[in-house]
């Protein structure tokens, strides 16, 4: 299935302990670049997340955002640092002994308010359990993300196929017109000679035919037309396939553009040049669309 590199998907997972949300969005990129944002305490799951996303999206610049909301009553714990409390008590006692004039008592409230004595810390969690919960949300987001990429990819392929068909029609029109270029050149050459030396002067017909033959050989575009028609057929075949085709189509479009340039430089005819401009415009539009395909 040919897919777009642009997509968005959201997935959620909720149980009695937590609510997890995952959002995946991507734009086109030459390679696969995945950025994952999730709470620091769950960063142990980052590599698993990247592995899942990469399996679903081999190309693109992909941003994955994960939020985790604790729902349980025991999501945090109060941790007592008894050593810090003792150190504060001894320091305060020494201060009071050193300066007897200081008022106030060293009581429990004072010690408990000192930094690091009582600390609110997240409750310990089972890493496997929370990782499986996060990956469930990621998997659901990937499903929605993939659906959007398939839909967008189908639209892009439809446009590419239509433009490929139009390119083929234009190439066939060039092929039909091309033989008349040499004939037209021969006639124009005769008219030019008569204009320069007069119609009564004798001019070797063999010489004119030789010049016409040289021109016809130099401006022959048969090979380029055959290759360009073959490229059009390949374009249709690739677009009707089920494999990721972005890189193949990108290379094929480059070859189509190369053949069009050669036709334009060899043909030496304004009518063909006009059609080559049409070819190049359509090929460029296909190239832009191909940049968005996996």
Give 212-247 pLDDT, tens digit per residue: 555 555 657 888 889 999 999 999 999 988 777 888
Minimal CA–CA distance to 290: which of 185, 189, 120, 156?
156
Confidence of residue 10 (pLDDT cuts 50, 70, 90): very high
Torsion of CA 70, 71, 75, 78, to 10 degrees: 110
**CB-based contacts of 144, cutoff 8 Å, min separation 6:** 8, 9, 10, 11
Q: Which domains does the chain have, with CATH numbers?
A: 7-72+126-149 (3.30.230.10), 76-122 (no CATH), 155-290 (no CATH)
Give 93-147 pLDDT, tens digit per residue: 887 788 877 777 777 777 777 888 777 666 566 788 899 999 999 999 999 999 9
At residue 180, does pLDDT exceed 70? Answer: yes
Q: Which pLDDT does position 19 carry in this prediction? A: 93
Q: Which pLDDT does position 113 carry in this prediction? A: 79
- Cα distances (angstroms) measured from residue 123 to each of 19, 104, 126, 137, 264: 16, 36, 10, 22, 72
At residue 69, does pLDDT exceed 70? Answer: yes
Give 141-178 pLDDT, tens digit per residue: 999 999 999 999 999 999 999 999 999 999 999 888 87
Q: Record the tokens describing residue 148, joined without a space.
A: 């959007």
Mean pLDDT, range 179-189, rounded to an integer: 63
Mean pLDDT, range 29-50, rounded to an integer: 93
Rounded to the nearest angstrom, the gap between the alpha carbon of residue 55 and the centroid of all alpha carbons in its chain is 15
Confidence of residue 74 (pLDDT cuts 50, 70, 90): low
Classify strands 76-80 and 118-122 as parallel, antiparallel or unpaired: antiparallel
**Length of the chain (residues):** 294
């Amino acid at each position: 299935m040919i897919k777009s590199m642009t997509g968005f998907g959201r997935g959620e997972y909720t149980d009695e302990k937590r609510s997890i949300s995952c959002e995946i969005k991507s734009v086109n990129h030459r390679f696969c670049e995945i950025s994952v944002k999730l709470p620091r305490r769950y960063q142990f799951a980052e590599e698993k997340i990247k592995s899942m996303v990469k399996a679903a999206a081999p190309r693109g610049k992909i941003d994955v955002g994960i939020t985790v909301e604790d729902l349980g009553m025991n999501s945090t714990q109060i941790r007592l640092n008894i050593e810090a409390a003792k150190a504060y008590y001894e320091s305060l006692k020494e201060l009071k002994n050193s300066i007897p004039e200081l008022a106030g008592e060293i009581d429990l409230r004072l010690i408990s308010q000192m930094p690091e004595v009582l600390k609110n810390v997240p409750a310990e969690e089972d890493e496997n359990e929370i990782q499986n919960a996060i990956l469930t949300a990621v998997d659901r987001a990937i499903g929605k993300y993939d659906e959007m990429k398939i839909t967008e990819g189908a639209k892009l392929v439809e446009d590419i196929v239509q433009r490929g068909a139009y390119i083929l029609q234009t190439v066939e029109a060039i092929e039909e017109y091309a033989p008349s270029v040499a004939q037209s050149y021969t006639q124009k050459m005769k008219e030019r000679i008569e204009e320069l030396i007069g119609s009564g002067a004798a001019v070797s017909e063999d010489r004119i035919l030789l010049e016409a033959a040289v021109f016809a050989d130099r401006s022959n575009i048969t090979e380029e037309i055959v290759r360009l028609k073959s490229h059009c057929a390949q374009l249709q075949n690739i677009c009707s396939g089920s494999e990721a085709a972005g890189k193949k189509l990108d290379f094929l479009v480059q070859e189509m553009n190369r053949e069009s340039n050669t036709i334009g430089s060899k043909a030496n005819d304004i009518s063909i040049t006009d059609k080559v401009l049409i070819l190049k415009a359509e090929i460029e539009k296909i190239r832009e669309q191909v940049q968005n395909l996996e």
